[in-house]
Structure 1
Amino acid sequence: MGTDSASVVSARRTTAASTALISHSEASVRSRVNYVLARLIAKPMYRVWPLNDTGIRALNLLDGAFALVPAPSTVVQSVTELDSVPIERYVPQRDADDALAGATVLYLHGGGFTFCGAGTHRRVTSRLAGLLAVPVYSVIYRQLPFAGVGTAVHDAYAAYRRLLEICPDPGKVIVAGDSSGAFLAAKICELAAADGIAMPAAYIGYSTHVNLDVDLRDHAVICRDALMPVSAYTRAKQKWTRGPVDLRGARSLLQIDPAVFPPTFLTVAAKEMFEADIVEFAQLLGDGGRDVEAHVWQRQVHAFPVLDGLLPESLQAVGLTAEFLRRVLGARSSTAA
């Protein structure tokens, strides 16, 4: 595993031989400062921010501000559609010449089905495109205040189905996301299996929002999250059933047959709200015979890989993602040969 001087890494195997739970026990100075600022500033702000339609629209201005920042020169950015779903596409200046040749990434941004978008996530999506040397499609799915979770799942799945039709190799489509976007990426795996269409080649989840009812867990545990207050989560959750499309399938990834999931890479911040669910999800997949690599990071905030170059650990997490994808796609190519 790649590391930097600020990270001490230990790994252990679970009872399922295909599951690696890897602990990163140290944090950089920048990550420690970011962690403290999140607790002192961001979390209290989320606790009091109004989650009525006006307050949600105000949060959505954040993506508009980030959208003014251009993509790096290492990728070519464009706007397109996949089955009428808006997309930002990032194409690297070079093509992969290894196991990732012909691969494509479909990325679903996080934000609690409420805010954020392609703009806020441009750093991580363009980083993935450049590092993997493959195109990355960032989905601009409908969310609150205009649409609930069912509609977001519908848009994500529609974009995936269309991508299968136009990509160079439908067997090398990777689905990825952070937080609520990682939930949507996992739902693609569930629905693709149910409908008998090509399944993703790999699943990447940064702080995956495993369970839409995580607020029913022990509050003494989930309240330790450095960024997300349980009260804000519960208020947002009350709006997730908003139409126009009903949620199809399970509300929790723990209720889905592990067989529908491809090789899976997960990151989680220790003590974040979703930690217990993510670890359980990883173990469930491993027990089901899936290839799973899960990284648990100390003194990080929820979905920290999205911060990209702002934190050394964010860069490291994306680098580990690339290593994982090359390993699993390379192993599959060897098996096919």
Structure 2
Amino acid sequence: MTTRASDAVTTHRDASPQSRALYWAARATLRQVYRVWPLTDAGIRGLAAVERGFTRLPHPAGVNVDQTTLGGVPAVTIAPESIHPELAGPEAAGPDAMADVAVLYLHGGAFVFCGPSTHRRLCSSLATGLGAPVHSVKYRKLPEVDIGAVVDDVYRAYRALSAQLPAEHRIVVAGDSAGGFLAAKLCELAARDGTRRPAALVGYSPLVDLDGDLSDGSWFTRDAYQPASTVRRAQQLWASRPHQLPGCRSMLDCDPAVFPPTLITLAAGELVETAALALTERLHAAGRTVGTHRWHTAVHAFPVLDALTPESKRAGELTVEFLRRVLGG
């Protein structure tokens, strides 16, 4: 059952047993680990083991997975088996494919860990659901570089993808958590520079403001595994690295006109919720196309889990439905 919180926000109140179990398990374990994990250079490099573990998992069925580069930035291109990677247009895909659409996906991980391998299943589901290729960017991360260099990586990848696609093709930018910030940043930079602008934006628990004030919610609704104290330490890390970050540090400071049709998915009570809802209302008030879904008893960036919970699967389905609706497929 869902209830409308506003014209732009849908709240999903009933949680599945799987989602409830995951939520409370994360609070009992990950939240405690994150509270004490050091965000030193050595501690950050230790998190790389997360991605290394995922590289050993088999590729999902029904897709082709290729190591590629975009503008010199490593990427993983995931395309449905029905789409030949060397072709473009209706002759390359099945009847339900969005043959003139490509997705640029930017993984989360606080700019310090994760990568295309940790997000392979989600990107594969998006590729098969849309019938379109998904390019997952392997951008550089802290502590090797600063956030300015991260933004430069993803913008170079976006411009390269834009340059290689026919003029009539549309690009969807998508990301979770810190990747959601990067995806929104691409909308801002493309509008600033007159580059082909994204046709849609998808943010799963997107980071909206690099410097926003954070506080834990009530005991019953707080973020499942991200203590506010840990994210504050991450903010200090981001600010401590010298960088030239182009544009705004908060997407709330951007002109709403830079944003294409936007879909946001949130876990109710998570730390990024307040700023993401503020962005939703700002876009809605400006007459932009925006839809936000809040899910109770869910974890941060839960759509990345793909089919692990019914809510993750449904969030993916809603993404495909939204993109097909706004892109006309």
Instruction: Give the TM-score normalised by the residue count of structure 2.
Output: 0.92
Q: CA deviation at 1:277?
A: 0.8
RMSD between superposed Cα atoms in Å:
1.8
**TM-aligned CA distance change 1:242 to 1:98, over 3 Å:** farther
Partner SS, residue 289 of structure 1: coil
Partner SS, residue 294 of structure 2: strand
CA distance in 2, matches of 1:97, 1:165: 26
**What's the counterpart of residue 64 of structure 1?**
52
CA distance in 2, matches of 1:187, 1:125: 20
Q: CA deviation at 1:67?
A: 1.1
Give the paired residue count: 318
CA distance in 1, matches of 2:94, 2:292: 25
Amino acid in the other structure paired with 1:271: G
CA distance in 1, matches of 2:161, 2:242: 23
Q: CA deviation at 1:70?
A: 2.2
Deviation string, structure 1 residues 137-185 (Cα, Å, up to 9, x no partner) = 0001111111122111111111000000112456410000000001000
**What's the counterpart of residue 248 of structure 1?**
246
**What's the counterpart of residue 274 of structure 2?**
276
1:46 aligns with 2:34: yes
CA distance in 1, matches of 2:176, 2:114: 11
Alpha carbons 1:106, 1:175 under 8 Å: kept: yes
**What's the counterpart of residue 259 of structure 2?**
261
Alpha carbons 2:264, 2:293 under 8 Å: kept: yes
172, 176, 179: which is aligned to 1:178? Answer: 176
CA distance in 2, matches of 1:244, 1:69: 36
**What's the counterpart of residue 137 of structure 1?**
135
Instruction: Give the TM-score normalised by the residue count of structure 1.
Output: 0.90
Partner SS, residue 238 of structure 1: helix
**What's the counterpart of residue 128 of structure 1?**
126
Q: CA deviation at 1:48?
A: 0.5
CA distance in 2, matches of 1:170, 1:80: 23
Partner SS, residue 47 of structure 2: helix
1:82 aligns with 2:70: yes
Partner SS, residue 76 of structure 1: strand
Amino acid in the other structure paired with 1:263: P
Alpha carbons 2:215, 2:228 under 8 Å: kept: no
Amino acid in the other structure paired with 2:46: A
Deviation string, structure 1 residues 173-228 (Cα, Å, up to 9, x no partner) = 000000000100000000000001111000000001011112x2455569921110
Percent identity for Structure 1 against Structure 2: 48
**What's the counterpart of residue 234 of structure 2?**
236
**TM-aligned CA distance change 1:177 to 1:321, over 3 Å:** same
**TM-aligned CA distance change 1:120 to 1:170, over 3 Å:** farther
Amino acid in the other structure paired with 1:294: T
Partner SS, residue 240 of structure 1: helix
**What's the counterpart of residue 155 of structure 1?**
153
Alpha carbons 1:76, 1:93 under 8 Å: kept: yes
3, 26, 48: which is aligned to 2:14? Answer: 26
CA distance in 1, matches of 2:320, 2:76: 21
Deviation string, structure 1 residues 218-265 (Cα, Å, up to 9, x no partner) = 555699211101111121222214657521111111000000000001
CA distance in 2, matches of 1:97, 1:280: 39
2, 5, 14: which is aligned to 1:9? Answer: 2
Unaligned runs of 5+ in 1: 1-7, 15-19
Alpha carbons 2:203, 2:263 under 8 Å: kept: yes
Partner SS, residue 103 of structure 2: strand
Amino acid in the other structure paired with 2:10: I
**TM-aligned CA distance change 1:36 to 1:142, over 3 Å:** same
Unaligned runs of 5+ in 2: 83-92
**TM-aligned CA distance change 1:163 to 1:52, over 3 Å:** same
CA distance in 2, matches of 1:244, 1:213: 15
